[in-house]
Chain A
Amino acid sequence: APKSSKPSKVNLKTFIGCAVREFTFLAKKPGCRPMRITTDACWGRCETWEKPVLDPPYIEAHHRVCTYNETRLVTVRLPHCAANVDPFYTYPKAIRCDCSVCLTTTTECETA
């Protein structure tokens, strides 16, 4: 499976693996005008499994998700900020992405 490459020419419906992918978001901060930013983030499908086992909790799981492996912090200046507001906004840019655990020290881990 391709890893850490931009899946620009692959079929996204069938892509398996974890790759750097372009992502656009609105950088917002109170006191500044929001700014649309396009950066590199992570996206993909990682192999995950669950199998029944004899002992409690009776299910053994391998849950790995597509997340950042290496990042670079980018700082931009938001436009039209109020005089008393720090205009700088810092966000991560993905350098490498991998199927791995979600680190709660640096990441908001959401699952549904």
Chain B
Amino acid sequence: MRIPRRSAAFNVTIKSDHRGSCQGTHVIQACVGYCESSAFPSKYSVLLASNFKHITTSVSQCCTITKMQKIKVRLHCGASRRESMELFTAKTCQCDMCRLSRY
């Protein structure tokens, strides 16, 4: 059973270089959620295959971005000049593979 994922809005500020001569802010979406995970004693087959090192098994899902969308952010360079830049925002989220949970 999963808790429905939600997307969370946050502000990003983009600077064109270290001096920040061109700058702009935009609201983009992230994915935040609570997906089910558990850990329990490993089966004998897992124990054998790992030379009795993996005594526990963890089965998990994490909140992930499934679709991204490109958006254009307008950057202001001083009083008159304008530039634009493309960046991504999360479009849809779901509980899926925890790509970065291992250590």
- Listed in ascending order, the chain A residues whose CB lies under 8 Å from chain B are 12-14, 16, 18, 21, 23, 25, 27-30, 39, 41-52, 54, 58-59, 61, 63-68, 71, 73, 90-92, 94, 97, 101-112
- The reply to whether the CB of B99 lies closer than 8 angstroms to some CB of chain A is yes
- Listed in ascending order, the chain B residues whose CB lies under 8 Å from chain A are 1-3, 8, 10, 14, 28, 30-44, 46, 50, 53-65, 68, 87-90, 93, 96-103
Closest residue on chain B to residue A26 by CB atoms: B43
A61 and B58 contact, Cβ closer than 8 Å, known pairs A66-B38, A66-B39: no
Establish whether residues A63 and B98, one from each chain, have CB atoms under 8 Å apart when the complex forms.
Answer: yes
A12 and B103 contact, Cβ closer than 8 Å, known pairs A52-B30, A67-B39: no
Q: Which of A13, A25, A68 contacts B39 (CB 8 A)?
A: A68
Establish whether residues B56 and A110, one from each chain, have CB atoms under 8 Å apart when the complex forms.
Answer: no
Establish whether residues A109 and B63, one from each chain, have CB atoms under 8 Å apart when the complex forms.
Answer: no
